[in-house]
């Protein structure tokens, strides 16, 4: 029970059937608090703690990392949502 807890959660959120409003969120969590987040709507990392602000600045200065994260809406979110929607449609 003693020690540190770190995790990373990614989420894809949408409400439209054509996925035009898809948002990709990548959370970095330390001891149950989000300390840094990438949100595709914002298009860059945002830090919520001193460590998060430091890392957000560092991550935002890496054009390759930003390009990869920005692409996740298409390559990860929409791609997987289309597969799931097709599987559901095939069963109805």
- Overall average pLDDT of the 73-87 stretch: 90
Question: Interior CA angle at 78 toward 73 and 79, to 5°?
Answer: 115
The DSSP secondary structure of the chain, one letter per residue, reads --S--EEEEEEEE--STT-TT-EEEEEEEETTEEEEEEETTTTEEEESSHHHHHHHHHHHT-HHHHHHHHHHIIIIIIHHHHHHHHHHHHH-
Q: Considering the chain, what is the average pLDDT of its residues? A: 93
pLDDT tens track for 33-71: 999 999 999 999 999 999 999 999 999 999 999 999 999
Tell the CATH topology of 6-89.
3.10.320
- Overall average pLDDT of the 16-25 stretch: 93
Q: How confident is the model at residue 92 (pLDDT cuts 50, 70, 90)?
A: low
Domain regions of the chain by residue span: 6-89
Q: What percentage of the chain carries pLDDT values higher than 90?
A: 78
On the question of pLDDT at 16 being above 70, the answer is yes
């Amino acid at each position: 029970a003693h020690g540190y807890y770190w995790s990373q959660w990614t989420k894809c959120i949408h409400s439209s059937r054509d996925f035009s409003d898809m948002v990709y969120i990548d959370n970095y969590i330390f001891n149950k608090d989000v300390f840094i987040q990438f949100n595709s709507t914002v298009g860059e990392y945002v830090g919520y703690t001193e460590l998060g602000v430091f890392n957000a600045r560092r991550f935002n200065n890496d054009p390759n990392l930003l390009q990869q994260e920005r692409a996740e809406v298409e390559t990860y979110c929409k791609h997987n949502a289309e597969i799931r929607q097709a599987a559901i449609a095939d069963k109805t």
